[in-house]
Amino acid sequence: MSPNRPMLTLIATLGSAALLGGAFAFQYIGGLAPCQLCLWQRWPHAAAILIGIIALTTGWRGLAWLGALSALATAGIGMFHVGVEQHWWEGLATCTAGSIAGISTADLLNPSVDVAPVVRCDEIAWAMLGISMAGWNVLISLGLAVVWAKAARSNG
């Protein structure tokens, strides 16, 4: 017996919640500040969670396709991020230039002000089994997109 639409939707929603929760844990518990591309990868997961909640409460099958699109969007951003990390292509200027935008001149010249280092998108902050966080996001998000698509195609 295969899982029904609500179960598949719940699995996909919880998958995005787990990935987003993991990202926040790495940031706030592990002390790994996110780069701009890391932040962008979070938004589609937040959208997928919201879509999942609405889909579970309304039962509308079409929302699962939006969930799949959200999972594919974060996977696409993650693929771009992996390419930047591996130096296959250039990243965004705001991600790799070591920008100090948004920091006042007074703060830069004041030795008592602690200015956090710029987080670069082209440096791998953490990896497991040779795969960076962006890479894991790609792999898991592609799997979640498949689950969302199965939920959309499910009759029950």
As a 3-state breakdown, the chain gives helix, strand, coil percent values, each rounded to 5, of 65, 5, 35
Nearest to 49 by CA among 81, 29, 23: 23
- What confidence tens digit (pLDDT) does each residue in 90-134 have? 877 767 555 555 555 665 555 655 555 567 777 778 778 988 998
3-state secondary structure of 128: strand
Q: Which domains does the chain have, with CATH numbers?
A: 5-153 (1.20.1550.10)
- What is the pTM for the complete model shown? 0.81
C-beta separation of 132 from 45 below 8 A: no
Which has more pLDDT, 21 or 101? 21
pLDDT at res. 10: 95
Alpha helices, H only, 34-101: 36-58, 62-85, 93-96
